[in-house]
Copies of this chain bind each other. A is one copy, B any other.
Amino acid sequence: MKIALAQENYIVGDFEHNIEKIINAITVAKAKGACLVVFSELTVCGYSPHDLLYRNDFIEKCLMGVEQIAKHCIGISAVIGAPSYNPEPTGKPLFNSAYLLSDGEIKSVHHKSLLSTYDIFDEHRYFEPNHNFTLANLNGKRIAITICEDLWDNQQTSVGMRQNKVSPMAELKKQNPDLVINIAASPFSYDTDSHRLSAFSELAKGLGIPIISVNQVGANTDLIFNGDSMALNANGVLVKRLNSFVEDTQVVDTETDSFIDAKNQFNPNDYIAQIHDALVLGIRDYFQKSGFTKATLGLSGGLDSAVTLALAQKALGSQNLRVLLLPSHFSSQHSIDDAVALADNLNIKYDIINIKDSFDTINQGLNPVFGDLPSDLTEENIQARIRGVMLMALSNKLGHLLLNTSNKSEAAVGYGTLYGDMCGALAVLGDVYKSDVFKLAYYINREVEIIPTNTIVKPPSAELRPEQKDSDSLPDYPILDGILREYIENQKSADEIIELGFDAEVVTKIIRLVNISEHKRFQSPPTLRVSSKAFGLGRRIPLVARL
């Protein structure tokens, strides 16, 4: 059976765009001799539509889209994803469904049982879980059509891996399927994706039948989907693996194809390359899908803005970038030199505006209120906020979206000024710990020095007061990031982290800093997600609470 895997990049709610793309893929697959083309989860509307699923006109457009696509399924069948109405008068009004289209019409509809409701997922908010399991029939083959997590039996919870209450695949297996189709919308995360192939391989081996899995590619706001669609044979051997982070449509023959196509296999050592590709795609799609082309940022001469600019240049091109250097009286000459060198290396237009006059004028304005009160964090924040005003002015006047350059380590401990360096339309590095930002810089420089070496090797500093260094008040980044990973990604308690060998006083201090910074992160820009636990909708901590 020749099956096409259509790994495509959709825009949430852009039905015209999505449907055209789907119909094109059907045409291409048919031309390549495929008898079936498989798409990803919620194909027609894109994943995730969130509360657009509450709008009746949105659902109607989805259903009309399915009908329209079905008409193109002549001489070829397709499995596409879209919501469907729950015909029962009880429960949530929708199902998250897979439609088998053939002979110009809908042949069967299969609903998702295990509704993802954790981290960034809220499917129980919209959908009723399925309890009826039936195979699809196509060309004499019995096909188990599954949606995302329905294929596996367990889920990560606060108390470790737990079995799901229902096992859709166990139910479907009883009916002796010949083949499993899985349509997914599984966002990339560098710390979990390495398990995927082995999990699928075990599953195929256990079932003794081939698995075809198609995952969405592209970024929608904060979520980056890498695709990584694959086909495995009945022995659990990888037969076909699609390219990551790009659209890709390939045909596999489940009868004859049996070799391992090892190309593009996930290598855990390559996680920095994967993060790099994810972030470039994340920036590009954020801009393209919201109709913007140009970006700006504040180039400090430090590491974070340098890496952000290099990534943005890859995503948008030098001609679409224009940056500001905004030194104050605390900025070192080497910072300015490093920033200029980077802009020159990337051929990006820059302006230098010294913020000293603005800083002095604002302080004079505040003098009647503050009188002789000593200088403190307030004045550091004023500098950061004046930079925010300048960058947003450029953004407003010239139409360049402002990129935020904060990294995950500083976002975690609250080392950033709200409405200052925390401004931006999109946080590029907000889910990348500083230790990984260093690695990204070396990766960016792997062939030629783009980011000046001095930017990478000098001690990190916010340069908001004389001789300031990050290490004045924070532990070294490998230690800081180690603690943060245990607390944020692994959800360990202070006691558990201390048991791992970290210094008790440092752990207590860092966790306190994370907890008292929730209010800042609440007003952060959307953050490109590359880990299994990014700040944002996937992590919901009450602001007013005793943590």
Contact = CB atoms under 8 A, between A and B. Distances in A.
Interface of A: 11-15, 17, 46, 48-57, 59, 88-93, 115, 117-118, 122, 124-125, 128, 157-159, 162-165, 219-221, 285-286, 289-290, 324, 351, 353-355, 357-358, 361-362, 364-366, 368-370, 373, 376-378, 381-382, 385-386, 388-390, 392-394, 396-397, 418-419, 423, 425, 491, 493, 495, 519, 522-526, 537, 539-547
A522 B128 CA distance: 28
Contact of A547 (B13, B396, B542): B13
A357 B351 contact: no
A338 to B, nearest CB: 21
A157 B397 contact: no
Nearest to A15: B546
Contacts of A393: 362, 366, 370, 378, 381-382
Nearest to A94: B158
B390 A362 contact: yes
Contacts of A46: 545
A280 B544 CA distance: 16
Nearest to A543: B221
A54 B124 CA distance: 18
A357 B122 CA distance: 49
29 contacts: A11-B544, A14-B546, A50-B540, A51-B540, A52-B541, A53-B158, A54-B491, A55-B491, A56-B158, A90-B162, A90-B163, A90-B165, A93-B157, A115-B124, A220-B545, A221-B542, A289-B544, A324-B369, A355-B365, A358-B361, A362-B393, A376-B397, A381-B392, A381-B393, A385-B388, A386-B389, A418-B423, A419-B419, A523-B523
How many copies of this chain? 2
A115 B92 CA distance: 12
A539 to B, nearest CB: 6
A70 to B, nearest CB: 22
Nearest to A352: B368
Given A381-B396, A392-B419, 17 more contacts: A11-B544, A14-B545, A14-B546, A59-B158, A90-B163, A91-B162, A92-B157, A117-B125, A219-B544, A220-B544, A353-B368, A358-B365, A366-B390, A370-B393, A378-B396, A382-B389, A526-B543
A22 B358 CA distance: 54
Nearest to A494: B57
A546 B357 contact: no
A12 B368 CA distance: 40
Counting from the closest, the 9 A-B pairs by CB-CB distance are A124-B124, A14-B546, A12-B545, A378-B396, A91-B165, A57-B493, A361-B361, A54-B158, A50-B540
A382 to B, nearest CB: 6
A544 B382 contact: no
A90 B164 contact: yes
Nearest to A381: B396
B159 A93 contact: yes
B55 A542 contact: no
Nearest to A355: B365
Contacts of A396: 376-378, 381
Nearest to A368: B351
A169 to B, nearest CB: 14
Contact of A370 (B91, B389, B397): B397
B290 A542 contact: no
Given A365-B353, A545-B49, A495 B221 contact: no
A546 B11 contact: yes
A431 to B, nearest CB: 16
A351 B366 CA distance: 10
B493 A55 contact: yes
A46 B545 CA distance: 9
Contacts of A90: 162-165
B493 A56 contact: yes
B389 A369 contact: no
